[in-house]
Amino acid sequence: MTAPNPLLVPWTTPFGIPPFDRILPEHFPPAFEAAMAEHLEEIAAIGADPAEPGFANTIEALQRSGRALSRVVNLFSNLVFSFGGTALEELDREMSPRLAQHGMRVSLDPAVFARVDALHRRRGGLGLAEDQLRVLDRTHLGFIRSGAALDAVAKARMTEISERLALLHTRFGQNVVHDEKVWSMALEAADLDGLPGFLREGMEGAATERSIPGFVVTLSRSLIEPFLTFSNRRDLRERAYKAWIARGTHPGEHDNRPLISEILALRAERAKLLGYPSFAVFRLADTMAGTPEAAEELLSQVWEPAKRKAAAERDRLLAVARQEGFEGPLEPWDWRYLAEKVRRADYDLDEAELKPYFLLENIQQAAFDTATRLFGLTFTPIPDAPVYHPDVRAYEVRDATGHVGIFLADPYARADKRSGAWMSSYRDQENLDAPVSPIIVNNNNFAKSEPTLLSFDDAETLFHEFGHALHGLLSQVRYPSQSGTSVRRDFVELPSQIYEHWLAVPETLRRYALHHETGEPVPDAVIARLLAARGFNQGFATVEYTAAALIDMALHSHPAPGTIEIDRFEAEFLQRIGMPREIGIRHRPAHFQHLFAGSGYAAGYYSYLWAEVLDADGYDAFTEAQDPFDPATAARLRALLSAGDTRDPMELYVAFRGRKPSIAPLLRSRELLPAQGENPISNNRSRP
């Protein structure tokens, strides 16, 4: 007897975790077909309801619809990114336009929109609770922004655009993964000069995974960045750096450059169909910033100070380089290498000295225990939980009231895994008909070795993604569309970025930064030097990020994006803004997955800086309380995290902080300007 498709039957696994051990790629096509058909039946029933439109029979019915499809889509999309492989990638290319078409059929359904629109027009007299009024407003806005109010011809074109963009996004992301998978640089013992033991072990592990003898550098950030930092071989640093920035630019079937102008043109066309002059204006209209000008003003407030600081950093790097006989100009593949030398000279701080204290398991436990102290959460391993890869660890999350959710940790880089670090969900929290707890996953791409040692930046990344995870885990909302991280893009990074602060708390470092061989805590003198160096190289970091945010806004504001030749545009743009030649943009367009492997951060990459204004100002609340674990402040932060999209983000922030945020703490933390004066950000329509 053939076993039933596990995607079409109830899951009896612990806590409803997907039965990964029974799921095969061939299970997805019939599951997608059944789930999409069920969803369309649900939508048709809502539209055909003879009763007068009401909140329950329209909005709540929409919230209940599509649950089977959401279950399959969440599972599939997570496996494509985290597990990968040819079969899933082929299916992703096949399904992405079909799912986009399905989404547009729902979003453009005239009968359903008529009911939502009628309900929205009389919303003031419905006696709705605050979360209900917001879900009605947001549902109506979602239909409008999808094109439901357009004529038939425009609706048809919106659907065509959506389908084509879905395919282009998928191809773009898969091309980057391809380039990262196929490139490696094999090294012999003579090529390892300057490389610390932890990096050699990681490179040896990567070589083993790829069945290559010896050591290899791959395009995983966890290998290439430390290689650029420590290798004494300038020729190899140049080769590795040029391969890193060339992802997506190789002529042929995996070249992303032809895709970019088409993606930009389609986005601009969609925005104009909806009455907006550009995609940037369309996207920013539904953010805290409100307008591209507001986002650009924030970026401009840091751009020139960042360049000044980077110029001073460059001069210091060159001074050290000249002492060692270095001639000629500084190149981008030199910066990290020389910066490490300067950090050692000026702060007596060596990353190779620090790294033995940052054992992956200890840092993960530090993230857990910080959440215990702040929010009363506990994390218990589930040894028998089904997982999609042996690297993955599952934990039950509880608090004083009982079960909260499930957390999955997937820390290591793999050839088929998407690069970078991210949080996602297999199931979102809701409480519409019955309590539904979340299943949240964190993906990182640390180089696997025994033991796995992290840089301080790696450890911050782990805390960052865990902050996102807490946003999903602590969600306490009624409606699924308001759950957890379903908030405006320039607010969603606040929970992740504010959580990074607790890694640098001296108490955290003393307890969890333990030498992996001796168990001794990192010395207080090293902690002091580490904290003193927090502003070091911030000119470089701010320039490489801000340039990427500025080019994002320029691309999505272009009056004729279909005419863009991306290599020329990139070069001319960087020259126009005065990009220092020694610093590479953080993401070149051809591998800028935030923008082009999906639309989530399109015209929204600025949001990391916007959220940093919030997180720097927000963490000051704990500083003012003179306790990084102050219970009252932590309770207000938990209230913010649990609220999801039930209230306007600025209202949530003001409820937490007691006032609107100031940019001063951000400038102070990056050592871009002296702390002076206040520059409050007001509501979501005004400029920072």
Would you list the DSSP string of 592-612? -HHHHSSSTTTTTTTHHHHHH
- The arrangement of strands across the sheet holding 439-446 comes to 378-381, 393-399, 402-412, 439-446, 422-427
Query: Nearest 5 degrees, angle CA 605-CA 610-CA 611?
Result: 100
* Residue 465 appears among annotated catalytic residues: yes
Locus of tokens 């729902």: 106
Q: Which residues pair with 398 in a beta bridge?
A: 378, 403
Single out the residue of 9, 447, 491 nearest to residue 224, CA to CA: 447
As a whole number of angstroms, the distance between CA 179 and CA 415 comes to 11
As a whole number of angstroms, the distance between CA 519 and CA 525 comes to 17
Contacts for 393-398 with beta carbons within 8 Å, 24 or more apart?
A: 394/17, 395/368, 396/15, 397/473
196 close to 205: Cβ distance less than 8 angstroms: no
- DSSP type of residue 109: -
The encoded tokens of residue 63 equal 């919230």
Helices 221-230 + 332-347 axis angle, to 10: 70
Dihedral sign for Cα atoms in the order 486, 77, 217, 184: negative
If one counts every other C-beta atom within 10 angstroms of the C-beta of residue 43, the result is: 20
- DSSP type of residue 56: I
Q: Which residues pair with 405 in a beta bridge?
A: 397
Helix segments in 494-630, DSSP class H: 494-499, 506-512, 524-532, 538-557, 566-576, 593-596, 607-624
Whether the bond into 561 is cis, omega within 30 of 0 = no
185 close to 236: Cβ distance less than 8 angstroms: yes
User: What residue ranges in 86-222 does DSSP mark as E strands?
Assistant: 184-187, 215-218
Alpha-carbon torsion, ordered 632, 635, 636, 637, to 10 deg: 120
Helices 538-557 + 257-273 axis angle, to 10: 60
As a whole number of angstroms, the distance between CA 404 and CA 396 comes to 8
Q: Half-sphere exposure of 521 toward its Cβ, with a 13 Å CA cutoff?
A: 11
Q: Half-sphere exposure of 245 toward its Cβ, with a 13 Å CA cutoff?
A: 16
Single out the residue of 178, 153, 214, 154 nearest to residue 85, CA to CA: 178
**Helix/strand/coil (H, E, C) string of 238-257?**
HHHHHHHHCCCCCCCCCCCH
173 close to 597: Cβ distance less than 8 angstroms: yes
As a whole number of angstroms, the distance between CA 510 and CA 517 comes to 16
The encoded tokens of residue 204 equal 């040896």
As a whole number of angstroms, the distance between CA 309 and CA 615 comes to 22
Q: Identify residue 621 by its one-letter amino acid code.
A: A
As a whole number of angstroms, the distance between CA 347 and CA 343 comes to 5
As a whole number of angstroms, the distance between CA 578 and CA 571 comes to 11
Single out the residue of 141, 266, 286 nearest to residue 564, CA to CA: 266
The encoded tokens of residue 303 equal 């751009």
Question: What is the radius of gyration, based on Cα positions, of the chain?
Answer: 25
Marked catalytic residue, from 313, 340, 430, 465: 465
Active site residues: 465
